Amino acid sequence: MNEPAPILPVRMVNEYAYCPRLFHLMFVGERWEDNDYTIHGRSVHSRIDGENDPLPPPPADPDDPPVIARSVSLGSETLGLSGKIDLLELEAGQAVPVDTKRGNVPPTPQRCYEPERVQLMCQGLLLREHGHASDSGMLYFAASRRRVRVDFTPELEARTLHLISEARAVANNTHPPPPLTDSPKCVGCSLAGVCLPDETNLLSGRQGETPDIRRLYPARDDALPLYVQEQGARVGKSGEALSVEKGRAKLGMFPLKDVSQLVLCGNISVSAQCLHLLCQRGIPVVHLSMGHWFYGVTAGIGLRNAYDRAAQFAAAADDGRRLTLARAFVRAKALNQRTLLRRNTTSDIDAPLADMRRLIAQIDTCADVDQLMGVEGSIASLYFANFGTMLAEGPARENFSPTSRNRRPPKDPVNAMLSFAYALLAKETTVALLAEGLDPFWGFLHRPRHGRPALALDLMEEFRPLVADSSVLSAINTGMVALPDFVISPAGCAMNDSARKALIRAYELRLDQMITHPVFDYRCSWRSVIRVQAKLLAKVLRGEIPSYSGITTR
């Protein structure tokens, strides 16, 4: 059954005129990201938005005195539009909408851009629907403090009606239109980091004329995870900051703008006001146990686009697609394990490296996920049997060399650190998948099981050697941890506070490290690479790009 065409906010017609994909991401996908332009635009509008005047009646006589109304809300089912007019001037029988723009008057022949003219024309059409005569509108450019008149010509009216009709049809599509190719519009687009126009076009074979892939999102985040490890501490809200206290002692204040995640390790409490604020701002709260167990994430309502999750469940129910994706996760992890070993070993391990290569070649011939898991297990055994050869010769190797991977509980310091690093990585991929509207608990390689973030475990496979294992090696080889930082007993091996802090430091340093992206050839941090992979996985599931490839390094 076809959905009735929705009523569009006038601002969304502006977005559609700018880029149909941007419109879909915002209106259907409910995606929103701030950039400098949107923050400035909001502050310009906040001075206007406070008032809400009703629409004055059409003047009975053109010679009536002028009337001014602010923030006038209008809607029309006939037009399929609703919107707010910043400022309305009634004079000489004409209703003139005035729309405020944040920037300078653009240096174009018409001194404004088409999306702005279309938005103003929408307001004119709404005014006409409500009985006013409206032949022109005004754009007020706040930075230049200048007005630009826009005449509501028959051409502009026809173009606007056409765009409204197109946008209402696109709003009923479950998936967004393709990205623009090589467009300068993408550079100023607030959703460029969500859309990934050049990356998506490259991977879907719709490459533009410019072969370079532009990185249109920040290479490195300003906001970072805030880890709270002090047992018995309490996190609260203090204005626009998070306060951490224990008893009467104040442990720190952290401005919200600097926090990307709140990570609670063990027995830490959070006030309800603080949780509400974090949910509102889209800052996830990650819960880890003292013993390195990843319990889960508290997040706001988040994305409401159910289509991506529907596509995810459909793919997981399709044995062929499930196996293809599972192979991609295992292949990337195995290649990265072998590369890490080959690059960092100080021993002669040609034979196990050759065995790993032989097993990696079998991945594509596995007939089902169970067989694939068997091959993956054999590769992992070879890798962990030789893990100790990557430790620096001397105390690091003498004290830390493991002989195999073991867990629940880990029996030696390396395995204790690996378990903790994998828990940190699982929270990273869980948060990245939640941000894309995917269900972290419904996987392809890992089957859903109560409390297991199966898709997060799938996505983290390729990053285990690249991020987690590398962090553990770095913490040991650079002396950030030492044997006294571990409590070893017949029941297992546990890290003390100092070892945990050291590993978190090594792990965060690794995530922050800048690399040249292996596929897109631009500089970005490992943290960004993980997020981009989550976005690409979502695009594969919704059919925007044909296949998923895990990140591998040489």
State the Cα torsion 342-346-349-352 to the nearest 10°: -50
User: Given CA atoms 434, 438, 441, 443 in this order, what sign does their dihedral have?
Assistant: negative
Pairing mode, if any, of strands 294-298 and 285-288?
antiparallel
Task: Sketch the per residue contact string, 146 through 185, with ligand SF4: x for CB under 6 A, - otherwise.
Answer: ---------------------------------xx--x-x
Q: Return d(Cα 19, Cα 540) in angstroms, integer.
A: 22
* Shortest Cβ 515–ligand SF4 spacing (Å): 23
Closer CB to ligand SF4, 27 or 140, in the complex: 27
For ligand SF4, the closer CB: 128 or 214 = 214
Choices 19-27, 242-250, 267-275, 325-333 (CB under 6 A): range interacting with ligand SF4: 19-27
Least gap, CB of 429 to ligand SF4 (angstroms): 24
- Residue 186 lies near ligand SF4 (rule: CB under 6 A): yes
- Six-digit token pair at 235? 């996190």
Q: How far is the CB of 200 from ligand SF4 (least distance, A)?
A: 8
User: Is 32 or 295 the residue whose CB approaches ligand SF4 more closely?
Assistant: 32
Question: Is residue 29 a contact residue for ligand SF4 (CB under 6 A)?
Answer: no
Q: Is 191 an interacting residue with respect to ligand SF4 (CB under 6 A)?
A: yes
Binding-site member from 72, 121, 139, 192 for ligand SF4 (CB under 6 A):
192
Count of CA atoms in the C-beta half-sphere (13 A) of 88: 29
Enumerate residues 6+ apart whose C-beta is below 8 A from 288. 263, 264, 265, 266, 294, 295, 423, 424, 427
Q: Which is nearer to ligand SF4, 25 or 459 (CB)?
A: 25
Which span sits near ligand SF4 by CB under 6 A: 78-86, 188-196, 442-450, 481-489? 188-196
Q: Which is nearer to ligand SF4, 12 or 499 (CB)?
A: 12
d(CA 503, CA 516): 24
Amino acid at 33: E
Q: Which stretch binds ligand SF4 (CB under 6 A): 21-29, 30-38, 93-101, 255-263?
A: 21-29
Phi, psi of 430 (to 5 degrees): -60, -45
Side chain identity at residue 128, one-letter code: R
Count the neighbouring beta carbons within 10 Å of the beta carbon of residue 326. Answer: 23
Task: Using the minimum distance from each CB to ligand SF4, give the nearer residue, 20 or 550.
Answer: 20
- The least CB distance from residue 19 to ligand SF4, in Å, is 3
How many residues sit in the footprint of ligand SF4 (CB under 6 A)? Answer: 14
Q: Nearest distance from residue 23's CB to ligand SF4, in Å?
A: 8
Q: Least distance (Å) from ligand SF4 to the CB of residue 246? A: 45
Number of neighbouring beta carbons within 10 Å of residue 213: 18
Taking the complex as a whole, the smallest distance from the CB of residue 195 to ligand SF4 amounts, in Å, to: 3
Binding residue (CB under 6 A) for ligand SF4 from 19, 95, 416, 504? 19
Nearest CB to ligand SF4, comparing residues 180 and 506: 180
Shortest distance in whole angstroms from residue 551 CB to ligand SF4:
22
Give yes or no for a contact between 375 and 366, defined as CB atoms under 8 angstroms apart: yes
Residue 22 near ligand SF4 by CB under 6 A: yes
Q: How crowded is the C-beta side of 209, counted as CA atoms within 13 Å?
A: 2
**Minimum CB–partner distance for residue 202 and ligand SF4 (Å):** 13
Closest contact distance (angstroms) between CB of 398 and ligand SF4 is 53
Of 472, 462, 475, the C-alpha closest to 526 is 462
Minimum separation from the CB atom of position 197 to ligand SF4 (A):
4
Q: Counting contacts by CB under 6 A, is residue 195 touching ligand SF4?
A: yes
| Helix or strand run (H / E) with residue 140 | strand 136-141
Within 8 A by CB and 6+ apart from 428, the residues are 460, 463, 467, 511, 527, 530
Question: 């995640």: which residue's tokens?
Answer: 261
- Pick the stretch among 16-24, 77-85, 274-282, 424-432 that binds ligand SF4 (CB under 6 A): 16-24
What's the number of CA atoms in the CB half-sphere (13 Å) around residue 479?
3
The smaller minimum CB distance to ligand SF4, of residues 79 and 196, is found at 196
* Range list of β-strands (E), 405-550: 486-489, 492-495, 514-516, 523-525
Binding of residue 189 to ligand SF4 (CB under 6 A): yes
Is the CB of residue 377 less than 8 Å from the CB of residue 364? no
Under the rule (CB under 6 A), what is the footprint of ligand SF4? 19, 21-22, 25, 179-180, 183, 185-186, 189, 191-192, 195, 197
